[in-house]
Amino acid sequence: MKMNGARIMLECLKKEGVDTIFGYPGGTVINLYDALFDFKEIHHILPRHEQAGTHAADGYARATGRVGVVIATSGPGATNTVTGIATAYMDSIPMVIITGQVPTPLIGNDAFQEVDIIGITRPCTKHSFLIRDVKDIALTMKKAFYIARSGRPGPVLVDFPKDIQIAQSEFDYPETVEIRGYKPNLSGHPRQVEKAVAMILESHRPVMYVGGGTVLSDSAEPLTELARTLTLPVTTTLMGLGSFPESDELSLGMLGMHGSYCANMAMSNSDLIIAVGARFDDRVTGKLSTFAPHAKIIHIDVDPTSIKKNVPVDLPIVGDVKDVLLKMIKQTDKNKEKLAGFVAALTPWHSDITAWKEKHPLGYKQSSTIIKPQFVIQKLRELSDDDAIISTDVGQHQMWTAQFFQFNKPRTLLTSGGLGTMGYGLPAAMGAQAAFPNRQIISICGDGGVQMNIQEMATLVQNRLPVKIVILNNNFLGMVRQWQELFFDKRYSSTCMELPIDYIKLADAYGAKGFLATKPGDVESVIKQGFEEKGPVIMEFMVAREEKVLPMVPAGASLNEMVLNA
């Protein structure tokens, strides 16, 4: 049976198991939306802005592990997706972005709403396609989804001209796909795994340094098993939070610029770092020339270009993180005679770590009159569901969430790590709630970032998505203000949010509920009221205006040169 290209595209999405898409209609995708009108197998959510729709698809992907899908029209619709695409690219999130394009005879003629979206997004996509023949749709989409989810995941853009959507063809979806030049290596080399386990068993001060690749490869279970078997201290990046339970005594918490004192000291004094699905980002390493000066490094990553990119590596292992960890567990089982002695020999190292934990634990002093933001985060953790999914925007609240929420399960923190995108939190929560209608989804925002995509309150209300939005309001762009306080003599240039916003009235205007806390005694009751509501809610907390995120490693400083009190 012949069908038009628009219907073929939807059939391709169905074959890939897509159940939810986020999209905004326009002239060059009107045929696709006409086909969607009768296509009941896929649920469509209309955001109020294409950037928010792209973040929502990203949040859906992070929460589920499946490929997120977003549709935008050509021209400004397509360009509005760019920040969301770059966000997903930096954090290796599997997405397929379908953009409308002017008819193929008009491409290159500066037609109405024509942009070269493939050229624009080439630096921030894993791959991109321009479909020029209706017969190519099925194979192109098979390739797009395969590339997006395989190897190191990432966003793939498919540009879909209007005339191709109208053209007719038979639909035949390929079962498999072979792409010349793209064959990601998923299997870690057994000999390298043997060497890695041998290096671990010979070490005296090992640390597992765990990144987002562990979450993306669904490797939390084998990671936890290996760490507990070998009694290895575990520190995670922002993107790796939840891959190892922070309630475990082996957990050091997050490391890096705003990491815990014990994590940064452990890394600085380690003799062996086992990097698992991490890329030695500058926010983690601090001053590169002084990073982990005593440590040998084992680096496990599916992307060979990430290995040795930032730091020298003694033992590289290219492969899927789960595959490598499972092989390491088997190899460890073969060395049981050495295991007891190794574990016993780590006692002094664990004692050092305990001393660092006790010397400078994460903390704050709660005032009787002013709400400390850390207190709000801890109360949220205390009162929320065990499987709640948290999204954040970017800034101080993001770091306080990472420090104080305590994540014990993977895929429960959605946050923009690599790009640091303000405006991400609310739409990402929207995507997660669409994926899990019955789970508790909490979006933690600052008063700066929340306004960047606040229009999605309308989407939440219209689609009955009961996201709980927590605004830590200090009337500042807090993280930049903190830098201005510490390094620019308190010259608060353009960081004071001087116009007060009544978020309670704003919630009401959108048809949602809003609650306000102005003193510490209000915090618990506001959270409970917000959680009891069945629809979307804004919970606003007026917090200490000049509270700082500490510890902090200043720019250009070594990892162990932390500002602890200021």
Task: Copy the structure tokens of residue 65.
Answer: 């592990």
| In 65-125, alpha helices (H) | 76-79, 82-90, 117-121
Q: Which one from 11, 50, 114, 456 is the annotated catalytic residue? A: 50
Catalytic site includes residue 479 = yes
Q: Which one from 3, 14, 15, 113 is the annotated catalytic residue? A: 113
Catalytic site includes residue 112 = yes
Catalytic site includes residue 531 = no
**What is the 3-class SS of 360-393, one letter each residue?**
CCCCCCCCCCCECHHHHHHHHHHHCCCCCEEEEC
Catalytic site includes residue 162 = yes
The answer to whether 566 touches 490, Cβ cutoff 8 Å, is no
Q: What is the largest CA-CA distance in the chain?
A: 72
What distance in Å separates the CA atoms of residue 429 and residue 78, rounded to the nearest whole number? 22
Q: Which one from 479, 497, 539, 562 is the annotated catalytic residue? A: 479
Catalytic site includes residue 50 = yes
Picking from 469, 457, 479, 463, the residue whose alpha carbon sits closest to that of residue 526 is: 469
Sign, CA torsion 448/449/455/458: negative
The answer to whether 411 touches 362, Cβ cutoff 8 Å, is no
The number of residues in the chain equals 566
Stated as kind and residue range, the H or E segment containing 35 is helix 30-37
Q: Which one from 41, 112, 183, 546 is the annotated catalytic residue? A: 112
Stated as kind and residue range, the H or E segment containing 266 is helix 261-269
Picking from 490, 468, 469, the residue whose alpha carbon sits closest to that of residue 481 is: 490
- Contact residues for 494 (Cβ-Cβ < 8 A; gap 6+): 477
What distance in Å separates the CA atoms of residue 173 and residue 193, rounded to the nearest whole number? 38
What distance in Å separates the CA atoms of residue 475 and residue 466, rounded to the nearest whole number? 26
Residues acting as catalytic residues: 50, 112-113, 162, 479
